[in-house]
Chains A and B, each alone.
Chain A
Amino acid sequence: MHMDTYPQLVTLVILFPAIGAFINLFVGARLTEKGVSAIATIAASLAFVVSFLLYLYLVNSNYQGAVVNPPLLDGWIQIGDSVVIPWQQRVDTLSVTMMLVVTGIGSLIHMYAAGYMHGDPKYHRFFAYLNMFLAFMLILVTGNNFLMMFVGWEGVGLCSFLLIGFWFDKAKGVGWRNSNAARKAFIVNRVGDFGLLMAIFLIFWTFGTLDYYRPGEVANPELAEGSKYAPVGSPAYLLYQEEHKSETEAPAEGEATPGEHSEAAATTEGATAAEATTTTEGESHAEGAAATEGEAHAEGEAAAEGEEEGHGEPAVVYVNNDHIATEQLGVFGQTERLLHEGEHIVDFGPFSLPFETVLVLITLFMLLGAAGKSAQIPLFVWLPDAMAGPTPVSALIHAATMVTAGVYMMVRANVWYHEAELTSVVVTLVGAGTAIMAGFVAIGQWDIKRVLAYSTVSQLGFMVAAVGVGAYSAAVFHLLTHAFFKALLFLGSGSVIHGVEHGHHLAHGKHGHGHDDHDPHPVHGENAHGHDAHADDHAHDDDFDPQDMRNMGGLWRRMPVTYLTYLIGTLALAGIFPLSGFWSKDEILADSWLIGLEEGALHGYIAFGVLFAAAFLTAFYMWRQIELVFHGKPRTEAARKAPESVWLMTVPLALLAIGSILAGFMQLPRPFFFLDQIFGTYHFVYWMQQSVIHSHAPAFQLGIALLATASALVAIFLARRIYGGEKSLVGEENRDPLESPIWSLANARLYWDEFYNRAFERPFNAMAGFLANTIDQRFWHGYFHNTVIRDGFNAIGEILSKPVDLGVIDGTVNGIGRVTRWLSSKVRLIQAGDVRVYALSLLLGVVVVILVLLLPLLNTGG
């Protein structure tokens, strides 16, 4: 198969999980558990294989993206020529990154779930939903227009709804609470979708299309001038040096080591300087490229031509989009063009706005959508409740993939976010505010999954803030590393819950472990305020909560694999060198700092300060969790007897742990020991740059890195001091040693739910009641219909039925007389006995007669 046809495979990436879902939905009930999980896992893995092939395609075609029309469906919404919205997919570095994350981590979670869901009566439906989720998520990330993204966007919302409410039929009100959580997730997300829809309308009426890119269009025409992030000596890198020769002021600093191209070196070095300072290896690259360039000129190509090192593939041309008419471009290409052309007014019919203002509006509306899906202030409230779903769902949907959709969307639209300064500030504040708020709340939680849920909200805040400060590449980088370690942590927590629950069974001599017995609580209220104190209920008739960290302790001895992997996940999340979280978090911090420093942007400093504090909290609450769950002594019999999970569950843990360690190396900001020899430097940003125009990466900031690491270590040390040791919790009822009014605030989740309940829910319900009972029932039915219309008819009937001349009749008769005269004037022209006249009169008469017949019914029926 020739590589050029590889992009066509992208249809399969959706088709595989969709087929898996169909099989399990329709015949899954008749298959064994093994059969069901095998089908689903294979479907997910095949999608991963396809994603990987697409990755290979991009690497081998100089990262040029492709637009793919799926077979059979040639269009979707099409209204004349004015609205053309196709089913069309986009293969580029951003979408392939997302595909790899979704299918890779998705496959592992499918495998884990095969063990975790064992024994559930709706086993096949669970896997059908998981596959369906993958299909929609892949539509979301591969769609080439905003409406396809929206299809995926709402589709994953539906799957999220189905999976949060998966255990909707639990006894004692738990099922009801689960379905409440599911409904809440859908409705809160709908608020975000409202924003997204408005953004889509604006986009359409501004650009006349919703397509990201058109076939043949280059996503990042600036790459025609090369890239400073390209591998040293590659054509793109040399071209960059060539293009920036004029900017050369001084040779690079002496510290530039062979092969390095830190930002300073890249921007200031000219080609000659590079030659002067590089080793022979570098020189040979330079010569090779110079030769290629010569060829390019000879062929009259505007841009440089080069070949991928060691692949022997045909030369690839860097081009821009100058030859394409503006209206033939996708939305982003048009934006670049319009901004380049200067002042532009967009006419919306009744009103018109400057182009820049339109961009601000679009991006703000999109932010609302992102706040829903990616759980930002003010719409994050659904995510903690979403933990009602089975734990693999929390890991896959509510940590690793779906909730990052908002970040993906904003990065996709980086052209607009880059331009809309006002929005950037708002996005930064929302993201940073969410990061610190959720980090704070996480400190006061007892439920092992709830801590992770708030942690997810907080980390999503990091990503959103990264978008705000323009660190698009860093946002996706953090999305990627976070997907590894947060999926790992959730699966680990599932393993813990599983173990503790098993231990509980063992301790109480209960048999017949039904898997669906543990109930993640949508409303977990162990706080002192009792506003949603829940009756605990695990289909067992006791109050044991296997998710409450107070029931754990000392598990490291019983569950060594879970412990070790959980530890890795925690350290990665806390940002400890050299685990993945360190690199991605550091890049966001460095970027925030630098945009403050270099552009004097206040929001850069704000983001830096707030995120720095949030990172401290992250390390703290995660280590608190480690202490409470794994260290110390078991606090319950269940924890004492908890067994390690089966291999189906521990293998994914181990794989994800490896990912959590290694994922950061794909974007080394400078050489580290031998690592850059293997992984290269700036690899990820160069990759992202191919589809995200405004990607950039800051030079490594040693000071920030040291400071952040130190702060994380201090947080861990503090958490160890407070929660470590034999008896970490206070008193018989295991109170938190930090208990205080402030801690209680965190424990009560800052009363967000209560606030929304008072501010929106109750007034909404009251208004609904008022409209339905008072306005609709009493006014429209009771008064308008019964009094005005019915009694009016009756009154007319009365008048007509009494042979009293009230003057009204005179008028009526006169009127009728006139009509009759007109009719008879016509009638006279018709031959007498014409059947058609009778037919007409008959039909008109029927209506009148029926009316008269019905009038008496009014009094009896009404």
Chain B
Amino acid sequence: MDTTWLTKAWANPQALSANLWLIIALPAFGALVCGVFGRALGRTYVNLVACASVLASFCLSVFAFQAVAADPSVIVTPAANGVPMRFALSGDWGVWFQAGSFSAHLGLWVDHLSATMLMVVTGVGFLIHLYSTAYMEHDAGYWRFFAYLNLFMASMLTLVLADNLVLLFVGWEGVGLCSYLLIGFWYTDAANAWAGRKAFIANRVGDCAFLLAMMLLVLTVTAFAKAPGTEPPAVFFAQRRAVWTHAATSEPGPLNFKVLEEFAQYMPANLAMGSRGMLGTDIPIGPLAGHTYGHTLTLVFLLMLLGAAGKSAQLPLYVWLPDAMAGPTPVSALIHAATMVTAGVYLLCRMAPLLVMSPAAMATVAVVGALTALYAALIAFAQDDLKKVLAYSTISQLGYMFLGVGVGFFWGAILHLVTHACFKGCLFLSAGSVMHGNDNEVNIKKLGGLRKEMPWTTACFGIATLAITGIIPLSGFFSKDDILHGALHARLVGYEWVGPTVFAIGSLGALCTAFYMSRAYLLAFTGERSKDAKVPHAHESGWVIVAPLVILAALSIALISHGFPGLLKMPNGEPETLMEAFLKPVFGVADRLAIEAHSLLPEAERSPWPGFGIALLLAWAGGGAAWYLYKRVFPARAGKPAPEVFAAVRAFTVHKFYVDELYDAVLVRPIKLLSIGLFRVVDEGLIDTVLVGGTAWVTARIGSLLRYLQTGDVQAYAAMMAVGLLAGVGYAIFEALAK
């Protein structure tokens, strides 16, 4: 069979590079059309424009992905700035802005990482657009909805395609804005509007930290680029450094990812390049002078982690995501499960070459991720709202991705990101389908017995549940357990306890995941129809809703290929996973630098299968426990009150461990009091009364005094002018005489 068409790019890579902007511009144009002319166009055309623009974007993304994935050796786009580059498509539309030696370019690029993200964002995005046309068919605000959704796509694609942190931040803020707009989509209900505000403010805390991290990074990189050579003058090094310095301070600017990666090359001791390693060295010039590069990078990444935690709903900024379920269900699927919330993971993976310089920051990322994974899973135990269960499960799964990033297992995190986008998208869309067929009922205790009435939805939800639980022939099993396996065998230098600890916490989280997901499935879909149900008989949704479910369910099975260990062989004969091989052009550098920097040492490759056995056992145990409790124990006890201990524990869990109340008492209320104080004293007292009112009062008083000068007598005015003239002339004569 002729397979050459697979190993060469379908479209001319240069032409693709020059037209990368179209991937962003198409949905942005769709947003403009839907937002401005949507009401006049009518429902049919709005649906058409919104879906078609995303579909076109998806097609372009397929070509870009294929060009990147096809054959790494064929296309090497020469970097206009002279910085040697990994294989990627890259387009640069000149300087965006400049300030002193800092500059940022309007540059986009597609490497293996952003290509993967592109497929997830546009692929899942298109399915959800399609789904929304049916889901929103009775909503009067359909044009507003699709305008926001398209705008979200444009922002998310900007985030993914940007080749520097500044442009990435534009997308980062854009998706935050769209998230806010869509959470509060049904704004006539005040609770929804408040949920939107909560999301926006929680994100703002993170964004502030992200901005600080960027500023610190600019100072660090610029200081290194401008510092007089502290290195032994190896010729190769000097040449390379000259090119690099030019790139960092004038051409693409210090926040370009290629420049940052090059910067990372200088940090660890590297004999090939004749460097002694800069991590322990003091920054010689600039505002950060006197701090070592290593410590500065740790601070940068702790701040960046806070930023990522805001966007990706990790401890301590996760509180907004459960409330974000106030938005329409397709939004929950697209923004709050599949794409936007993974931006934090993407950011940290993007910074991988620098991140591995700081074992302390990595340990923090891993611990935050593990704790979030377990914590959110525990809260999900007692939630009765189907969407809330899924929201906490999203937080928990994002925790696994952070865990993976923290132990340097980047490809595992990205694989889990991809599989999670499929199975969690499927779960959310199934929940939407359930709501569609049950008059918007989300309480799993008031559903029940949907298996017979909604067979397709039940099947898809079931498959996705098995995938997230980690049952063996489904993608979630390998993506999650690859991460846990990686955690167990990662050795963070100075933080050796982290790997086993997060493995233990993560495995416990996996057990909980199996429990709460099985509970949700068993209560909502099996058994008899609840007596409290809103409608006596649910109806299965139309094919426009079912088709995306089926595709996503199929994908959550098919993606197992990318996590199955040992499908490929590395040159040295060791087994390699498909995803690992695919992302090697991106993360290979980080892996090498981690060893050079002596921050993360891989242990000898061990067979993952024993660990996988344990994981499978845990998944069955969790699911079995749920089945036993909700199918045997509780039905048997129906009518009898629960023991008091259980009731107390349940109340504690139902109230989400009282974290919202804690934040309210510790943060929200004091800030509110402070604001009221500031409002009364500073704003109303000082500014309104003293400054604004005072200015008017003084002006009026002076005016009422001075108006008596207006006698109405022309000759009096003329006399004043004459006096003024005389004074002027007198002064001139006096000056002339004095000389």
A binds B: no
Interface residues, chain A, with chain B CB atoms under 8 Å away = none
